[in-house]
Structure 1
Amino acid sequence: MNDFDPEELERITARAEDMLARVEELRSEIDVVVGRGEAADGQVRVTAGASGRLMDVVLAPRAMRLDSQKLAEAVLRAAQEAQDDVAAKVDAVMAETLGGALPGRELLDEQFGSVLESFESSMDERLRAIDDRTRDSR
């Protein structure tokens, strides 16, 4: 049976608070990150923000000579390249600031679940002991 360790809960809580503070710091850095992509020999250029939203699409005059299908493909390719570029830059900023990748949600859920299960088990034992003592004192 796992015994609940209040110090472990404090360590996990402190770690989570520290991580949240560092994530808040990241917001201002990430807000200014942009990605760029181009296609059709540079005739189609796209800029995307950290959220992945397109911020700018530039079509050079020569791009207008492409047929509609080729132009659409070039815009799509440039947009995807810009989104990939900004995602890579955001990952780099996060790794630099946080000292590595953020733990996945599943891992955090698992760790928290384990601590919670230990806590509940410990509390159940203590409540049973209190009930036993109360019954014995009657």
Structure 2
Amino acid sequence: MDDLERLSSLNEERIRQLSGLEARMRELAGTGEAANGLIRARVDSEAGLSGLVIDPRALRQGSETLAEQVIAAVGAANADLRAQIDEVMREALGDAMPSTDVGDLRRSAKEQIAQIEAGFRQSMEGIMADVEKLKRSV
């Protein structure tokens, strides 16, 4: 197998690995809680905060403490979502993918897919050029 075929094969494999990655990431949701489970939050990469449950007993804390606990629950949900995204990215791209925020991960995945597709197209153009040369020489 020559270098061009190897590159083409690697690009095809990478495209297979990344296909559906964005959809898979959209399906992820992080959950977090605070105040001993009295406040629960859910976040996803599409809507951000997509769920918030406040047990009536949490309302006894006062507004400032309640606000802090809501922020803590949302922060825990965001951390859970980031951990899930990191895992999906590691599965798809290997450990070379750094952990970052949700928006950066999605942009990075799109950029990598575009680079892989460009490399694949370039490889295919090279192969087709070689085929044309062979046709002309025959």
Q: Normalization by structure 2: what TM-score?
A: 0.58
Does the CA-based 8 Å contact 1:50-1:87 persist in structure 2? no
Larger radius of gyration: 1
The reply to whether residue 89 of structure 1 matches residue 87 of structure 2 is: no
Which secondary structure state, in structure 2, belongs to the residue aligned with residue 42 of structure 1?
Answer: coil
* Residue deviations 1:28-57 (CA, integer Å, cap 9, x gap): 221211111000111110001135711101
The reply to whether residue 48 of structure 1 matches residue 48 of structure 2 is: no
Identity in percent: 31
Which secondary structure state, in structure 2, belongs to the residue aligned with residue 41 of structure 1?
Answer: coil
Query: How do 1:50-65 and structure 2 match up within 5 A?
Result: 50-51=45-46, 53-65=48-60
Query: How do 1:71-110 and structure 2 match up within 5 A?
Result: 71-96=66-91, 98-103=92-97
- After TM superposition, give the deviation of residue 59 of structure 1 in Å: 0.5
RMSD: 3.1
- After TM superposition, give the deviation of residue 24 of structure 1 in Å: 3.3
Does the CA-based 8 Å contact 1:38-1:46 persist in structure 2? yes
Question: Structure 1 pair 102/38, CA: closer, same or farther in 2 (3 Å)?
Answer: same
Question: Structure 1 pair 72/13, CA: closer, same or farther in 2 (3 Å)?
Answer: farther
Q: Which aligned segments of 4 or more residues in structure 1 are displaced greater than 2 angstroms?
A: 10-24, 101-105
Q: Normalization by structure 1: what TM-score?
A: 0.58
Structure 2 residues not aligned, in runs of 5+:
99-107, 116-138
Question: Structure 1 pair 103/39, CA: closer, same or farther in 2 (3 Å)?
Answer: closer
